[in-house]
Amino acid sequence: MTELNRVGAWNLACGKLPIIKDIAPTSYWQALANQQERLQEELDELNEAIMNCQTLEESCKGDAVTLQLKGVPFDTTNVRSVREHWNDEVLDAQVDLDVVLQGFTYLSGHDHTGAFNAVMENNDLKYVNNLPDAQYACEQIGATTHSVVTGNLGNTPTYSVHRNSDDKITKLPNHPKVCLKKFAN
């Protein structure tokens, strides 16, 4: 059973059905807005857990540290059990985000699988098999703020351009926009 099928079955068991946009547009958009709020809540929890892990990583073991819990600072000690707890919270938020996103997908009624595959095919255009092409693209995008990174696909080297500040894989020059219209509800 896929994640989407599992979350769909769970929603059905809880009495939640996808709303048909054309029949009840107000309810449809409200359901998606509610789900978006749940996504933001989980993103906030993930952000807090990562920030707490970073704070613990940057301090010495045994030191007093100030962490956040639902936006409220609290003092604790950098000990193994605290580090393990916040590492577990990262995983918990990660999984909760996936569940809530799959719930959004279920409620939206869009052809998520088709759209996902179209986006991934478009993303495949963000890497090339030729290093000089990647270097040229990096120069076009901005060699002072971007770098070429070597990857691997089936023992074949691949090259992509990453933004230095956050390691985001960037679109190469003349990257086409993906069209998702045929997958929309």
Give, for all 185 residues of the chain, the pLDDT tens digit: 788 899 999 999 998 888 888 788 889 999 999 999 999 999 999 999 999 999 999 999 999 999 999 999 999 999 999 999 999 999 999 999 999 999 999 999 999 999 999 999 999 999 999 999 999 999 999 999 999 999 999 999 999 999 999 999 999 999 999 999 999 98
Angle between helix 25-58 and helix 80-108 axes, rounded to 10 deg: 160
Burial of residue 180 (CB within 10 Å: 0-12, 13-18, 19+) is middle
Both tokens of residue 181? 């219209």
pLDDT tens digits along 112-147: 999 999 999 999 999 999 999 999 999 999 999 999
**What's the pTM?**
0.85
Beta-carbon contacts of 103 under 8 Å, excluding residues fewer than 6 positions away, are 7, 11, 35, 38
Question: Distance (Å, rounded) from C-alpha 30 to C-alpha 13?
Answer: 21
